[in-house]
Structure 1
Amino acid sequence: MLSNLPEEVLYQILSNLDYKSLSRLSQVCRTIHQFVNRDAVWRKIAKELLNTGITRHGRDIYPHVPLKERVKMSQNWYNGVCKIAITLKWKIKLLPWLQLDGDALFLSQAAEIGAYHLRQDRGGRHTRNLVAVFSGHRGDVCRFTLTDSHLISGGSDGKILVHNRRGHGRVELLGHNQEVNCLDARGGLIVSGSRDRTARIWTSSSTVPRDTVALYDRVWSVAISPALSCECVSSLGEEFRRGAGVLDMVFETPHQLYTCGYDTYIRLWDLRLSPRKCVMEWEEPHDSALYCLQTDGNHMIASGSSYYGVVRLWDKRQSKCLKYFQLTTDRVSSPVYCLRFSSSHLYAAIATALHALDFRRNAQDLLC
């Protein structure tokens, strides 16, 4: 019998099978099932097929998920196989923002930010439980970001609040004269951008800005390089019409920066080149502004459109969109204001709801 073979021989045989064959083989008997489900059997296939990253900065970012399950979910991502559900809904139109941290999801709704614990019930459904609320703004929260110990929020009141995630205390920074459109924090630094045409750099130990950079237009988006560099790397373009520039940006490495905005393109910039140069670009096919984007550190990009709640998935190795999902109807249109994803879920926040796209194994799964 196959199960009686020495393990090294069995590994050699299984290394020649594709993922569908391995999945079917695992159903033969309990002994084979246990052997086939080992990560060592799936490691080679995982390196070839995973579209959502295995490692980031040399560390496994999903160590709790078996490689077999990650391969299955990856193929579902690539082929657009998912279940779409509304996780949260509210009655008035908002400009929500969200962040993920493990099994915790943070979502801004008007002047408050709710922290929800995400989990599965016995039926496999995704549920949420409100565990904390962060407040203190006199207007709507425009943006917020997370560190290991703090939640930093900026609001339409011009305030920047530093909330302690493990307690009830908060510190108010000097802030801006007008609404805070964007924030980022890393390594003890905080960067904020405002409608008042300034970007400010803060340290976690002071309530007054360390530096203020005056600009010619409102600041829509900021990002801190993983290298923690505070130098100006030069302009990435000045051809945008007034008020219509970059709406979101994401550093993937200290040298790779992704941007998107009103001109309907996702662009990858190589900051090592002089002058800085766009090395790849992906065009939104329906000529819609792109409000947000996320990358997985490997091959996958997700973007959110300004019309009809459209989320698109892109493979960086291809120029055309892989799949798209429309979260609103033709009669009720909304931008996707923010999106985040884990190994199994993509969360998209629109004006009236938070949608969850579940890419785990289900009845429609392409694998057995």
Structure 2
Amino acid sequence: MIGTAIKSDDKELDKRIINFCDLPDDVLFSIFRKLDIKSLSTLCRVCCRLKDLLSSDHAWVLFSHNFNVIHFEEDVLPLKEKFRISHNREKGTCHESLLANFSKRQMPWMQYHNGNLWVSSKNEIQSYSPGRGKQLKVNKKNNPYKLQRDVTKFVTKEDRIVSGCLDGSIHIWEAGGTHTVVEKAHPLDTQAVDCHNGILVSGSRDATLKVFRLQSDNYSGITGVEEKCCFPVGDRVWSLTLSQCGSFCACGTAFCEGDAPISLLDLNKQCAVNQLGTEHKIGAGVLDMQYENEHTLLTCGYDTFIHMWDLRINRCICSWEQRFDSAYYCLKSDGHMNIFAGASRHGLVDLWDKRKTSKPVQSFYIGHQNSPVYSLAFDSKRLYAALDLQVKILDFSCYQ
């Protein structure tokens, strides 16, 4: 409390007691900069005005170096809440809940898009959306996303769902409900797919990667699918991804045959431009991959590492090793500093900070001993993990 004596014009002494909370905003923010996070948290409970000021991003931006927040496109949370969730995530403080149970073991795939979580189960792709209390609940409407055989991997992009199938076909659903099937796209199962601006790529167990052009109009949606080219990649395709511009495709194989497990393809020139991972051991195939940007690629697989590749020099510039010598089945990056990776055993998900390579920031055990993590997704508050028998949610926004 600050006491001052103010002399008025009529020479009467007007004594006033000025509270700390009566100081101007800019003065208070200058004081906030001198305090630590614990003191700021205490000030939040003093009065409504201080609570409002300390809820603004301006009060917390100076502490950005203390927290590594998840970068998420749809995130509208205030900075204070992001920091709190980041602190919970790195300390392993979360609420674990069950989203779905499977009657038999399977290899589910998952995507998060526009506030909805999409999960494959056998020959269906099920949609989950936030209900009351922001809990994810299965959509009650009839689910039109069904295939003739089991789903392999799928993507949700540009208001489309594109899925591979065990019978070698490719299924495409548009926002308007139009369903297009590319029959016999491959003679064997279609293991991975991706799409961008009317370009569709698919990889198969037949050791080929195919590129298709989607023909469409503004009224009928997709009117046809034309095969543009086919690339032999040396072995069974397990993963692929398109660059952000859609001009390049990276493809990961089983690497039992061929020169390298990763092939880089130029779709405009319709040719292979390079191969990565020649130093991998035979059988150390690539199970998942993601472009960070046009020049950086993340991969993981049976060699028990996450690798970051600089495509300008075609070299691995950083790697993160699974400390229990387990394969990494899947990875998901926020494009900034955070990488989640799902291991082949113990239902284990590792959170890596790209600036630290010695050990993960945190590890989450969410399954039984033999439970692989086949797919991951996340939003600003939660991590979703698809295991062999269930889908789990870790909510880091809980208060402890």
User: Same-fold call, TM > 0.5?
Assistant: yes
1:172 and 2:172 correspond: no
1:197 and 2:207 correspond: yes
1:357 and 2:394 correspond: yes
Residues 265 and 282 in structure 1, CA contact (< 8 A), matched pair in contact too = yes
Q: Deviations over 1:250-284 (max 9, x none)?
A: 111111111000000000001111xx000000000
Residues 233 and 271 in structure 1, CA contact (< 8 A), matched pair in contact too = no
Residues 117 and 131 in structure 1, CA contact (< 8 A), matched pair in contact too = no
Superposed, which structure 2 residues align to 1:103-122 within 5 Å?
Answer: 103-121=115-133
Root-mean-square deviation (CA), in Å?
Answer: 1.8
1:97 and 2:115 correspond: no
Q: What is the Cα deviation at residue 120 of structure 1? A: 4.9
2:376 corresponds, among 317, 326, 339, to 339
More strand by share: 2
AA aligned opposite 2:181? E
Q: What is the Cα deviation at residue 62 of structure 1? A: 4.3
Residues 137 and 159 in structure 1, CA contact (< 8 A), matched pair in contact too = no
Question: Which residue of the partner structure matches residue 253 of structure 2?
Answer: none
Question: Which residue of the partner structure matches residue 223 of structure 1?
Answer: 241
Aligned counterparts of 1:199 and 1:149: Cα–Cα separation in 2: 24
| Number of aligned residues | 349
Q: What is the Cα deviation at residue 21 of structure 1? A: 2.3
1:65 and 2:77 correspond: yes
Residues 339 and 348 in structure 1, CA contact (< 8 A), matched pair in contact too = yes
Question: Which residue of the partner structure matches residue 57 of structure 1?
Answer: none
Q: What is the Cα deviation at residue 76 of structure 1? A: 1.1
Aligned counterparts of 1:293 and 1:145: Cα–Cα separation in 2: 15
Residues 128 and 136 in structure 2, CA contact (< 8 A), matched pair in contact too = no
AA aligned opposite 1:313? L
Q: What is the Cα deviation at residue 131 of structure 1? A: 4.6
Structure 2 CA distance for partners of 1:277 and 1:266, relative to 1, 3 Å: same
Residues 116 and 127 in structure 2, CA contact (< 8 A), matched pair in contact too = yes
2:228 corresponds, among 206, 210, 214, to 210
Secondary structure at the aligned position of 1:321 is classed as coil
1:280 corresponds, among 314, 318, 342, to 318
4+ long deviations beyond 4 Å = 239-243
Q: Deviations over 1:18-69 (max 9, x none)?
A: 3332222111111211111112212232365233127xxxxxx244211111
Question: Which residue of the partner structure matches residue 146 of structure 1?
Answer: 156
Give ranges in structure 2 of 5+ residues lacking alignment.
1-18, 216-223, 249-265, 267-271
Secondary structure at the aligned position of 2:227 is classed as coil
Q: What is the Cα deviation at residue 101 of structure 1? A: 1.4
Question: Which residue of the partner structure matches residue 81 of structure 1?
Answer: 93
Aligned counterparts of 1:242 and 1:204: Cα–Cα separation in 2: 36
Q: What is the Cα deviation at residue 180 of structure 1? A: 1.1
AA aligned opposite 1:357? L
AA aligned opposite 2:310? D
1:41 corresponds, among 25, 45, 59, to 59
Aligned counterparts of 1:239 and 1:307: Cα–Cα separation in 2: 25
Residues 51 and 298 in structure 1, CA contact (< 8 A), matched pair in contact too = no
Aligned counterparts of 2:298 and 2:322: Cα–Cα separation in 1: 15
AA aligned opposite 1:252? E
Secondary structure at the aligned position of 2:70 is classed as coil
Aligned counterparts of 1:179 and 1:239: Cα–Cα separation in 2: 28
- If the length of structure 2 is used for normalisation, what is the TM-score? 0.83
AA aligned opposite 1:234? N
Aligned counterparts of 1:28 and 1:166: Cα–Cα separation in 2: 52
Question: Which residue of the partner structure matches residue 159 of structure 1?
Answer: 169
Secondary structure at the aligned position of 1:68 is classed as helix
Question: Which residue of the partner structure matches residue 58 of structure 1?
Answer: none
Give ranges in structure 1 of 5+ residues lacking alignment.
55-60, 364-368
Secondary structure at the aligned position of 2:80 is classed as helix
1:23 and 2:41 correspond: yes
Structure 2 CA distance for partners of 1:3 and 1:188, relative to 1, 3 Å: farther
Matched-pair identity in % = 34
Aligned counterparts of 1:31 and 1:5: Cα–Cα separation in 2: 11
Aligned counterparts of 2:244 and 2:66: Cα–Cα separation in 1: 27
Aligned counterparts of 2:385 and 2:192: Cα–Cα separation in 1: 18
Question: Which residue of the partner structure matches residue 366 of structure 1?
Answer: none
1:251 corresponds, among 272, 286, 291, to 291
Residues 283 and 302 in structure 2, CA contact (< 8 A), matched pair in contact too = no
Structure 2 CA distance for partners of 1:181 and 1:42, relative to 1, 3 Å: same
AA aligned opposite 1:171? T
Question: Which residue of the partner structure matches residue 263 of structure 2?
Answer: none
Structure 2 CA distance for partners of 1:10 and 1:116, relative to 1, 3 Å: same
